[in-house]
Structure 1
């Protein structure tokens, strides 16, 4: 590991939540920072999410109960989970590794690590939103898990027990209590779980862009360009961009989200075991004066409906597929039909449906730390669907590791050497 010194130049590849957070944390420590991204800040994966900052996100999808759920999931008709069989055959190594981590010891390590990262990120988010002038976009009313049946509620017992074990503030609501909290929801839900330890924002992309603006105000740079080649030199790194420019850096941070796999293979020959949890969203307008005060997750129908600046954002469940496969909107259409049962909804927005890929490693933990055998290379990637909730903590941990500081949280569960070798 090559330790950084204050004043050195760091190029961060990727201007999503994670990349911008890394840049901010490094700039706050006196590093000269340039962020490189072909689309600009908050324009790709970080744009399309429910905007929830919740400790309940410590639950990975590959928990020990996954094995009992697997036969039903493999039918491919679940509202919250779909998959493309040919794509999964192509990624069979990742799939087997993902399933092999659905064990109690791994689950305990992952939940503890993610809880620490999410809690730390929440604290940093609050400070940064105040400093960047976007605190008005944050709501602190928590979010709701909705259950259409008693059986559905019982099926969530393992998750509720896990949240209780970590001290996550929740409350079980009966139908009338849910009505008091969200009076415009239709009375189709038997119970709800109110996750109180949660905040949300009304535009995740705008929050990321505000952080990037704050970075530039502090002397950092954001360059809209794509890094095409990365070469090690005697003094650091040389990067070439698609615009024909050349940058020199002492350190490079790869925070390219789902594009990290292709980039690292092209530059270093690494075979990163990364799968893609694809997700969709579309915006709908409320009807009949309906108001939603906080994001809600319909557990039976597998969608989240979240109040946003653009209206109500409907996000789909998970679709396992190749990153660049064409869109398949059937899951999102089914989610819309279910959402219209839950809340009076009007027209769709004129904006097209959005599709993004969530980069997922086999143990559902991100990779944060030094690239094995590549001095001055740092990795911050693989945040599955919770990059918005974990970005600031990732940036702080990476900066602490890079500058040799004491770390706020344990870096061991996130070490790149879990899956990469020099």
Structure 2
């Protein structure tokens, strides 16, 4: 395969991991993005690699929660009305896939992808020299009231079904594991089958450096589109010196920007953007935590990071280029300060980014219908950092004509795209 060239568009976790997997299969790979690897969506997450991420937002409990969500006042979910009106087709398909049969198919598919990804992450963390950034002490879902804990029964049932190791904690045990937390949580679910890292952006950079050391090429360029050439090759159109780069095959792994990019090829992707924010804080040394925690009532995640204690907000459905809206992060900070002494904010303004979500909460991994040698790897919603390495392993196997390491059919592009 060393004579077959591949251009991977996008240098987040999905793109970098795909480039590494293709390189391992013997392809000659060039990775392209407008910024250095790991500086956009893959930078801003909570750094969690969790078996529990098999639960999609559009699960059967969504139906009962819709009246509250549509009020557009919750800390965990907001929407920009104009964006939602412009994407009603996506919204209808998203809600329709909260039915039990689709939900069960999705959780089965995501569980297989997450388990594969954890194995791939373990190898890449060692090979890239980034293993020191990984913690294996799980993460916690925190519940302020017992009734809220009861409301999470469906998620616990699904996790138990797939053998995810968990433990229910009472108030005293929560304090034993995380003494910095104030005693406002009646119960918690400790999800033990979880890793976390102290700088997700730096993990992506370490993987990209491994790719480079193994002979991979990286080009920083603002990608415009691709054009088909004779012989099923492609020309990549970009700003600057990389304009006109040619490759035998192209992989689109541009995360939330994949929708706009595919539109340049006349392909309409039913993708919405889930905006999220984060801010770092400097808690007193005695008030830090040893693992990520998710306050289900406050709708935030706190993660101990190299940069400080990272507070991440809920999601907002809005356009990828919409102005910042600090409401959710403000609500998250107020709730978090009830739980822990976070100290002072370390940045003057929050980071913000978008997660790309398809109607069934599964990514597309595979060939573009009707376009020879055009391959797709996008739509990972909140779990692209977790599932990038598994995505790369599936994609590389399919591109080489090998059997995929897990069932790839739930991720096929034909679910939503036509040639």
TM-score, normalised to structure 1, is 0.98
- Equivalent in 406, 411, 414 of residue 411 of structure 2: 414
Deviations 1:291-328 (A, max 9, x none): 20000000001000000000100000111111111010
- Equivalent in 44, 57, 67 of residue 61 of structure 1: 57
Segments of 5+ residues of structure 2 without an aligned counterpart are none
For the 8 Å contact 1:397–1:407, the answer to whether it is kept is yes
Offset at 1:77? 1.4
Structure 1 Cα separation of the partners of residues 130 and 161 of structure 2 = 33
Secondary structure of 2:230's counterpart equals coil
Q: How many residues align?
A: 417
Deviations 1:120-179 (A, max 9, x none): 000100110000000000000000000001111111111111111111000000000111
- Equivalent in 75, 78, 81 of residue 85 of structure 1: 81
For the 8 Å contact 1:288–1:344, the answer to whether it is kept is no
Structure 1 Cα separation of the partners of residues 186 and 310 of structure 2 = 23
Alignment of 1:139 onto 2:135: yes
Aligned position for 1:13: 9
For the 8 Å contact 2:288–2:309, the answer to whether it is kept is no
Aligned position for 1:387: 384
Secondary structure of 2:343's counterpart equals strand
Aligned position for 1:263: 261
Secondary structure of 1:19's counterpart equals helix
Alignment of 1:303 onto 2:300: yes
Aligned position for 1:126: 122
Structure 2 Cα separation of the partners of residues 109 and 88 of structure 1 = 26
Segments of 5+ residues of structure 1 without an aligned counterpart are none
Aligned position for 1:233: 229
Aligned position for 1:325: 322
Structure 2 Cα separation of the partners of residues 55 and 339 of structure 1 = 24
Deviations 1:360-383 (A, max 9, x none): 000000000001111010000000
For the 8 Å contact 1:51–1:201, the answer to whether it is kept is yes
TM-score, normalised to structure 2, is 0.98
Secondary structure of 1:11's counterpart equals strand
For the 8 Å contact 2:279–2:347, the answer to whether it is kept is no
For the 8 Å contact 1:87–1:321, the answer to whether it is kept is yes
Alignment of 1:36 onto 2:32: yes
Which consecutive aligned stretches of 4+ in structure 1 deviate over 4 angstroms post-superposition?
Answer: none
Alignment of 1:361 onto 2:347: no
Offset at 1:7? 2.9
Deviations 1:374-398 (A, max 9, x none): 1010000000010011000000000
Structure 2 Cα separation of the partners of residues 400 and 288 of structure 1 = 47
